[in-house]
Amino acid sequence: MTLPKTLRHVQTQHGDASVDVENIFLFSANLHTAGVASTNEAELGAESDAESVTPIAIKSQEIKSTDGVWTYEASEDCGSQLATIAEASLEQLLEKRKASDETEATEPKKPKLETKDLKLTRPGFSEERYDETSYYIENGLRKVYPYSFTFTTFTKGRWVGEGILDVFSREFRAQPPEEYKRSIEAGNLTVNYEKVPVDYRLKHNDLLANTVHRHEVPVTAQPISIVHIDDDILVVNKPASIPVHPCGRYRHNTVIFILAKEYNLKNLRTIHRLDRLTSGLLLFGRNSEKARQMEQQIRNRQVQKEYVCCVEGHFPDGIIECNEPIEVVSYKIGVCKVSKKGKDCQTTFKRIAQAGDYSIVQCKPLTGRMHQIRVHLQYLGYPIVNDPLYNHEVFGPLKGRGGDTGGKSDDQLISDLISIHNAENWLGIDKEIAAYSTKNQDVTAPNTNDDNQTLIKSTRDSKVTIWTQTSHEPADMHFDASKVTKDPHCIECTMNYRDPNPEDLVMYLHAWKYKGVGWEYETELPSWASGDQDHITLGLRNKRC
């Protein structure tokens, strides 16, 4: 049997150019020798013992080199010797496996940590998520009773090798570092569901789980009205202030959860999204096939979208087209701007009404970039009147008109957004909670003002919703102290929050009409879009005070 010297390339295994065939054969021979030497005499025969086996094994495997080619030659009795060696090796292997099995039987095997198994045990992947807490209506707001919740996330690549406390202090700013340290020491913040020391360094595929006492931000109590429903699709009119799906400080106070908990509409597939403060048409697939079909139409720009907004100033006559590219400045806080480095973007605008110093404008985005309408209106110099982000001097004296941000770099712009307006509140994460003096007041104390109760009743009865179709239990219409839970380590349990004004929960941008291949949906226009200046100024009065 002849083997070339470079028969097998093992560069990917050892970083070597070729295999040293001679050493492989010699090593193999020595292994066989050792195996035979350790075998019982009865198994090898009366004439075979440890001393006689060694020369026989080596003699039966002669290796010669001729002109760079290694040759392996077996002696005439090699077959019987190899058979004996194989038999002995097999028995040794069986004995080893038997011993291993006995050890495993006596020592409980620790469950293997696998991503797939962890996913099944992570919170939020079962029907139980809807039963974590419930709603109550107070002062025209939908509120959530505090509840315990476990946040989970797998370690991101950039976190590997960093301390767990450092990562949570930097990446998750909902709590101060001291609270994360306490949680780690108490075993509430775990890695792969096991308690770790404070100085633990994260590894690839580590599953981080942090159990907290969660207080959600209130949203409007205005009901989600059904525009269209059938076996394939659900179309709703989303009120402003309600996020589409769980994010940040919102979970149960989201469209997805409200539809599931109160309307019994579950397993919906999100086809597109609206900003939290934007109202209007929102489409869901009721099966994966329909959702994919609708998503494909949107992706291929086969869907005509029409929005309406209220902007500052006298918007020009005629159709105004803006083709400026838009770049995401920060995904983390959700800020965009017009930039040559951005993606192609196209929006057409047309004034449809004038209300004093305000203009009602029809908007048709031909592309689907983040904050596209808001950024293009800022660039044109006609920002949405109550846009908390793109209608502010933080973008410079001209508020971003013509792309002028006052010479600020992207980093400076982000820094100013955070420092000037406390980004967690002002950028829409928890704007509504503006906390005041904390420890001596009871956060659970309900507002019992009769006027507020009247407002709540009129909010619910003003429009018939799907509640009457499904007979599903609605939110509590008054605060129920028996449903409140408290955590002695929860900072928010010691705080009392001011309820947001209704004006804080809306931005004058509404998704009005959507038209695709074989379908078309439309909502009623909100009151501020009627062109009546009184409706606009009434909605802005308290906000500007």
* In a shared domain, residues 148 and 185: yes
DSSP 374-407: HHHHHHHT--BTT-TTTSSGGGTTTTTGGG--TT
Residue 411 in any domain: the answer is: yes
* In a shared domain, residues 309 and 246: no
Q: CA 545 to CA 536: how far, in whole Å? A: 15
Q: What is the CATH number of the domain that holds 518?
A: 3.30.2350
Would you write out the chain's pLDDT as a tens digit for each of its 545 residues? Answer: 444 444 333 333 333 344 443 443 434 444 444 444 444 433 434 333 433 333 434 344 444 444 544 444 444 455 555 555 556 555 666 666 555 555 544 444 443 344 444 444 444 446 788 889 999 999 999 999 999 999 899 999 999 999 999 999 988 877 889 999 999 999 999 999 999 999 999 999 999 999 989 999 999 999 999 999 999 999 999 999 999 999 888 999 999 999 999 999 999 999 999 999 999 999 999 999 999 999 999 999 999 999 999 999 999 999 999 999 999 998 878 899 999 999 999 999 999 999 999 999 999 999 999 999 999 999 999 999 999 999 999 999 999 999 999 999 999 998 888 776 553 343 433 333 333 223 333 333 333 333 332 222 222 233 323 332 333 557 888 787 888 888 888 888 888 878 888 788 999 999 999 999 999 999 999 999 987 666 666 556 544 43
Report CA torsion sign: 45, 50, 54, 57.
positive
Is 275 a known active-site residue? yes
* In a shared domain, residues 267 and 309: no
Residue 538 in any domain: the answer is: yes
Q: What is the CATH number of the domain that holds 241?
A: 3.30.2350.10
Final residue belonging to a domain, choices 268, 300, 332:
300
Residue 278 in any domain: the answer is: yes
Residue 333 in any domain: the answer is: yes
Domain count, the chain: 3
Query: How many CA within 13 A on the CB side of residue 415?
Result: 5
The two three-digit tokens of residue 97, written as one number? 């496996």
Q: Note the pLDDT of residue 524.
A: 94
Residue 167 in any domain: the answer is: yes
- DSSP-derived letter for residue 494 is G
* Burial environment of residue 401 by CB neighbours within 10 A (0 to 12, 13 to 18, 19 or more): middle
* In a shared domain, residues 263 and 209: no
Do 476 and 135 form a contact (C-beta atoms < 8 A)?
A: yes
Q: Note the pLDDT of residue 240.
A: 96
Residue 518 in any domain: the answer is: yes
B/e letters for 225-252, b = 16+ CB within 10 Å, e = fewer, are ebbebeeebbbbbbbbbbbbebeebbbb
Do 303 and 516 form a contact (C-beta atoms < 8 A)?
A: yes
Catalytic, out of 16, 131, 232, 275? 275
Q: What angle do CA 430, 434, 438 make, to 5 degrees?
A: 120
Q: What is the CATH number of the domain that holds 211?
A: 3.10.290.10
- State the residue range of the domain holding 388: 304-429+493-544
* In a shared domain, residues 501 and 391: yes
* In a shared domain, residues 170 and 280: no
Residue 54 in any domain: the answer is: no
> What is the number of other CB atoms lying within 10 angstroms of the CB of residue 256?
19
* In a shared domain, residues 354 and 388: yes
Q: Note the pLDDT of residue 418.
A: 79
Residue 64 in any domain: the answer is: no
The two three-digit tokens of residue 336, written as one number? 């965009």
Q: Note the pLDDT of residue 41.
A: 39
Q: Which amino acid is at 176?
A: P
Do 371 and 428 form a contact (C-beta atoms < 8 A)?
A: no
What residues pair up with 347 in beta bridges, in sequence order? 322, 365
Final residue belonging to a domain, choices 267, 300, 333:
300
Q: Note the pLDDT of residue 91.
A: 65
Final residue belonging to a domain, choices 262, 277, 300:
300
**Assessment of whether the complete model's pTM goes beyond 0.75:** no
* In a shared domain, residues 136 and 269: no
Taking the C-alpha atoms of 23, 25, 27 and 30 in order, what is their torsion angle to the nearest 10 degrees? -140
* In a shared domain, residues 141 and 175: yes
* In a shared domain, residues 232 and 295: yes
* In a shared domain, residues 194 and 250: no
* In a shared domain, residues 215 and 294: no
